[in-house]
Amino acid sequence: MNTKHLLILITATLFAACRPQSDDLLSYGQNDGRTFNIAASSYEEQFKALWTALNCNYGIWDYEEELGMDWDDVYETYLPKFQELDKKEEVTEEEFTSLYADIINPLHDGHLFIQVKNLKTGRFHNYMPSQNRNYSSRRDFEKYNLHDLTAYMTQNGDYKLIESRTVNTSPESVIRQNLNVFASIVNAKIEEYDHKYSLSEAEQFVWDYCQEFLYDYTDAMGVSEYNSLCDKYAQLGQLLGMELPKIDSKLADYSLSIEYAYFASDIVYIRINGFKLSAFLDDRYFANFLNADNATSRATQKAVKSVWNQWFNKIEELHNHQALRGVIIDVRDNGGGFVNDYQYVLGALLPSGGYTSHQLRTKSGTGRYDYSPLMNFTFPTYEEQHVVIDAPIVVLTNCNSVSMAESTALGAQTLPNGHVIGTQTWGGLSALNTEPTYYSETYASAFGKAYETAFYAYIPKYIAILPHLKSVNHGIIEGVGIIPDIEVEFDRDLYVTTGRDTQLERAIEFICSEVQ
């Protein structure tokens, strides 16, 4: 070996030795203090710890490399820049955030979230590459809150709305509803007493108490403020025979809006803005996630079940009379949620026993390319007796259809009678695991503590693989999403001025053209 070749070998060996190796990994999965104490000691150590966490736990490096990412080059290029930050007395937010933006924003996983702390100022900065990418490149990034179908009550023909029903389980909505109902009873009692010539001492007490409630009453309350109001007017509720029920604070974690509609064209529609249905439709989930002893929680569960049953029963009724022309599942602006929900939406129209639309893999070790073999992923389908429809199923999507919403669209696309209409989805099909104790099983987790440690990250647990696309980017479509079969832009001006929905109307038109 000549001197030149020896020098190259020594240089390469030295560089490899200074880059973190898997044997040197700290226990990110257990979030031990040593990991984050080191990361908090300097900008250099913070960068090295985060780079290593991603290097050993991020699940799509093969995909990133096909798209042009060289993670080793990132280390070589940016380590000196962070070393320079350590030499400065002051580090501005702009110079700090621009470095991490250059490093993190090019990554494509649709769920990846990173938070880093400027060690000199103490300020935290968040990075979600998919959000940054969609915000800068998608015209339909903004949410439109598509929840009002009243314009179709006056339409004629196929678009005419025959019946609809909506339930919103968000604390704000439930508080508003509870207070408005209670206020109507209070007002009725005041009006009743106002028509009396004179009031007894007890009646005067109730009248004064009612007036005090109306003075305190506002439907723009938070949960704790509302629950305090419930305590304050508990006696008034007893006197009026109508309790003002408290709200379970956990309701906020499982809030959703579900809407059922039936159109004159014998098309049945459902819209859900988040896959949290299991928390209400599955009694086991309900008992685990919400306070089953809370009257508001029980009433909310009953309302959600009623709307879902109305949708499901209408489909069965029309199918049994050979009148069903199609089903529309609207997952626009749906941020995802429980995988178990699959059985209550698309899975309620499929045979029992589960449905497989794609495969997945996990990280199988801390090596950059340590991936498990591909495994079929089977979504749950409805197990109780139900009809399996062959009528067209259309899933409506937009940029803010994420995660489980995308899995629903993908499932429809793989059905002979399934179709996707709207615009391209978010691009985040991989499933999350934010529980650090499962790190040793999946080598992906939540690392650190938000707004506390020098960095915080959550990295998806499962990587979704589409078998029919394996010849392109290994079948991974993170950062891309589901491409609709029929692309239709949402005309916001038309919706704002008339209430008409171009994507919904195209779905109805398509179904009617398919079923003559």
Considering Cα of 270, then 271, then 274, then 280, what sign does the dihedral take? negative
- Identity of the residue numbered 464: A
Distances in Å between the alpha carbon of 436 and those of 28, 32, 457? Answer: 8, 10, 11
pLDDT of 131-142, one tens digit each?
A: 999 998 888 888
429, part of any domain: no
- Return the H-helix or E-strand segment holding 45: helix 43-57
Share above pLDDT 70 across residues of the chain, in percent, rounded to a whole number = 91
Considering Cα of 227, then 233, then 237, then 242, what sign does the dihedral take? negative
104, part of any domain: no
What integer is the mean pLDDT of 265-275? Answer: 97
Two structure tokens written together for 510 = 């398509």
pLDDT at 219 over 50: yes
pLDDT of 285-322, one tens digit each?
A: 999 999 888 999 999 999 999 999 999 999 999 999 99
Considering Cα of 134, then 138, then 143, then 146, what sign does the dihedral take? negative
If you count them, how many residues does the chain have?
Answer: 516
Range 8-27 burial, b when 16+ CB lie within 10 A, else e: eeeeeeeeeeeebeeeebbe
69, part of any domain: no
> Which residue has better confidence, 330 or 449?
330
pLDDT at 33 over 90: no
189, part of any domain: yes
d(CA 40, CA 31): 14
- Residue 170: what pLDDT? 93
Share above pLDDT 90 across residues of the chain, in percent, rounded to a whole number = 76
Two structure tokens written together for 118 = 């400027």
pLDDT of 461-515, one tens digit each?
A: 889 998 777 656 778 999 999 999 999 999 999 999 999 999 999 999 999 998 7
Q: Which structural domain range is residue 199 located in?
A: 173-249
What integer is the mean pLDDT of 69-98? Answer: 97
- Return the H-helix or E-strand segment holding 230: helix 223-232
pLDDT at 356 over 80: yes
206, part of any domain: yes
What integer is the mean pLDDT of 98-121? Answer: 96
What integer is the mean pLDDT of 103-122? Answer: 96
What integer is the mean pLDDT of 116-129? Answer: 97
Which of 272-281, 439-448, 496-505 bottoms out in mean pLDDT, i.e. has the lowest?
439-448
pLDDT of 130-171, one tens digit each?
A: 999 999 888 888 876 667 899 999 998 999 999 999 999 999
312, part of any domain: no
- Identity of the residue numbered 108: H
Q: What is the largest CA-CA distance in the chain?
A: 114
Residue 20: which pLDDT band, with cuts at 50, 70 and 90?
A: low
- Residue 142: what pLDDT? 82
Residue 10: which pLDDT band, with cuts at 50, 70 and 90?
A: very low
Distances in Å between the alpha carbon of 309 and those of 159, 255, 334? Answer: 23, 19, 21
- Residue 29: what pLDDT? 58
pLDDT at 457 over 50: yes
12, part of any domain: no
Residue 445: which pLDDT band, with cuts at 50, 70 and 90?
A: confident
Sheet with 355-362, edge to edge strand ranges? 375-379, 355-362, 462-465
Q: Report the half-sphere exposure of 401 (CA within 13 A, side-chain side).
A: 28
What integer is the mean pLDDT of 443-471? Answer: 84
193, part of any domain: yes
Number of domains comprising the chain: 1
pLDDT at 6 over 70: no
- Residue 97: what pLDDT? 97
- Residue 19: what pLDDT? 61
- Return the H-helix or E-strand segment holding 316: helix 295-320
pLDDT at 17 over 50: no
